[in-house]
């Protein structure tokens, strides 16, 4: 077995929950807006990982042009 095969990392899988949490984090920090399309998140995620995220979004019936607010779903507010 070559050294390159031994050093390769297994593919990363992102669940929709992890993607939603990351989107919430970026919105809370004011880095992105709820009104922006989901594809703007690719600017904040390494390119090699974005492919996995795109696949998970597609699997969960999200389009890259959907708003980040749609991805985040229902939010809970502490001060209600």
For residue 37, the cross-strand partners are: 67
Whether 78 maps to a domain, the answer reads no
Evaluate whether residue 76 is within a structural domain. no
Phi-psi bin for 9: left (phi > 0), alpha (psi -120 to 50), beta? beta
Q: What is the C-alpha to C-alpha distance for residues 21 and 14, in angstroms, rounded to an integer?
A: 11
Structure confidence at residue 6 (pLDDT): 47
Please state, in angstroms and rounded to a whole number, the distance separating the CA atoms of residues 35 and 27: 10
In a domain, 1, yes or no: no
79 assigned to some structural domain: no
- 24 domain-assigned: yes
Tell me the average pLDDT across 54-72.
96
Q: Tens digits of per-residue pLDDT, 11-39?
A: 567 899 999 999 999 999 999 999 999 99
Q: How many domains does the chain have?
A: 1
- Residue among 75, 77, 64 at smallest CA distance from 36: 64
Q: What is the DSSP letter of 8?
A: P
Structural domain boundaries enclosing 31? 14-71
């Amino acid at each position: 077995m070559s050294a390159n095969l031994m050093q390769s990392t297994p593919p990363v899988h992102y669940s929709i929950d992890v993607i939603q949490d990351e989107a919430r984090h970026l919105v809370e920090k004011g880095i992105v807006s709820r009104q922006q399309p989901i594809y703007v998140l690719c600017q904040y995620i390494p390119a090699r990982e974005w492919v996995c995220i795109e696949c998970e979004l597609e699997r969960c019936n999200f389009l890259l042009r959907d708003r980040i607010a749609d991805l985040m779903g229902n939010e809970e507010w502490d001060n209600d």
